[in-house]
């Protein structure tokens, strides 16, 4: 059994706690995931694990790690110290500290087709995580974060992704102007979402070839004027009832699936079932 760390001044404890702050996540290129499901998934996805930290009352055998099957350190800490590291009210007793796997704009430009979601100043970690999870579920290609977005590696964001953070490429952009100009050179079809845009269900746009990018804006302010001008189309979801607008992650989900449906990548089986039922 590993020696139990009991001092809050231990360097491992201080290091793990520092990763609650974006500054140190960026500095070290690391982030942490918490809970049995997430850590298991990180192991199964063969993510680059920096270390594991577990509470003395957690059964490490639950992870199914075999002796000699890993090359990262594992630390056992006292239960009260683990609660100080944890980001949840009822911790499960296991944390994985992982290396980020950043991508850049060239990762997109090397592709010939696909769907990316560009987030413009999204502030809510739950919305960010849900959008990442949705693009994963729908079979999209990745998420781009423009300057001013909440950190994708915020612990709350990570939890909201439900493991999709391990599968979805995340690209962080500092210079939006240069980014969109490079998309334009590649002839990427950029759909800017706005309340006064064309009905997404009527939008035809570019058919199944080429790269598409859907821009989702800030929860209260929408997309910026600068970003809107970069769009090749402006689209919206019709509001039929009395609500003024939709939650950002809900709107993103509807648009993601509609764009992919138009490309013939989702929903075809449903259409066939309906046709047979009508015969």
Q: Each residue of 47-57: pLDDT tens digit? A: 889 999 999 99
Average the pLDDT over each of 39-53, 192-206, 256-270 and give the range with the smallest value. Answer: 256-270
* CA–CA dist 191, 276 (Å, integer): 34
**What per-residue confidence (pLDDT) applies to 275?**
39
pLDDT at 68: 63
Statement: the pTM of the whole predicted model exceeds 0.75: yes
H helix or E strand, kind and range, residue 141: none
Tell me the per-residue pLDDT of 79-120, one tens digit each, with 9 for 90 and over.
999 999 999 999 999 999 999 998 999 999 999 999 999 999
45 falls in which pLDDT band (50, 70, 90)?
confident
Q: What Rg, from alpha-carbon coordinates, does the chain have? A: 21
Q: If DSSP codes are grouped into helix, strand and coil, which group holds residue 231?
A: coil
Give me the pLDDT at residue 279, please.
Answer: 31
pLDDT value, residue 46: 79
Domains detected in the chain: 4-99 (3.30.1330.30), 105-269 (3.40.1280.10)
Q: Is the pLDDT of residue 156 over 80?
A: yes
Q: Quick one: how far is CA 89 from the chain centroid? A: 23
Q: Residue 172: enclosing H or E segment and its boundaries?
A: strand 170-172
* Helix/strand number for the chain, H first, E second: 11, 11
More confident residue, 180 or 209: 180
- Residue 273 banded pLDDT, cuts 50, 70, 90: very low
**Is 264 within 8 Å of 208 (Cβ atoms)?**
yes
Q: What is the pLDDT confidence band of residue 278, given thresholds at 50, 70 and 90?
A: very low
Phi-psi region of 222 (alpha: psi -120 to 50; beta: other; left: phi over 0): left
Predicted confidence at residue 105, as pLDDT, reads 95
Query: Collapsing DSSP states into helix, strand and coil, what is residue 92?
Result: coil
What are the tokens at 60? 């490490």
Asked if 84 and 12 touch (Cβ cutoff 8 Å), the reply is no
To which residue do tokens 């849900």 refer?
A: 130
């Amino acid at each position: 059994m590993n020696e139990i760390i009991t001092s809050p001044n231990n360097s491992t404890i201080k290091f793990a706690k520092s990763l609650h702050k974006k500054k140190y996540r960026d500095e070290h290129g690391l982030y942490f995931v918490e809970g049995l499901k997430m850590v298991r998934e990180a192991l199964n996805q063969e993510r680059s694990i920096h270390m594991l930290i577990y509470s003395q009352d957690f059964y490490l055998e639950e992870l199914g790690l075999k002796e000699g099957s890993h090359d990262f350190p594992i630390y056992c800490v006292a239960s009260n110290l683990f609660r100080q590291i944890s980001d949840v009210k009822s911790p499960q007793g296991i944390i994985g500290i992982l290396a980020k796997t950043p991508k850049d704009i060239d990762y997109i430009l090397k592709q010939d087709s696909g769907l990316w979601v560009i987030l413009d100043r999204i502030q809510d970690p739950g919305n960010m995580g849900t959008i990442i999870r949705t693009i994963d579920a729908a079979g999209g290609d990745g998420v781009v974060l423009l300057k001013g977005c909440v950190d994708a590696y915020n612990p709350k964001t990570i939890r909201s992704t439900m493991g999709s953070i391990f599968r979805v490429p995340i690209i962080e952009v500092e210079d939006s102007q240069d980014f969109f100009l490079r998309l334009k050179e590649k002839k990427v079809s950029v759909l800017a979402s706005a309340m006064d845009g064309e009905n997404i269900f009527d939008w035809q746009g570019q058919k199944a070839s080429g790269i598409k990018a859907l821009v989702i804006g800030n929860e209260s302010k929408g997309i910026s004027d600068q970003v809107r001008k970069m769009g090749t189309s402006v689209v919206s979801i019709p509001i039929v009832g009395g609500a003024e607008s939709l939650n950002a992650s809900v709107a993103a989900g509807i648009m993601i699936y509609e764009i992919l449906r138009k490309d013939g990548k989702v929903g075809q089986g449903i259409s066939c079932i309906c046709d047979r039922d009508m015969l």
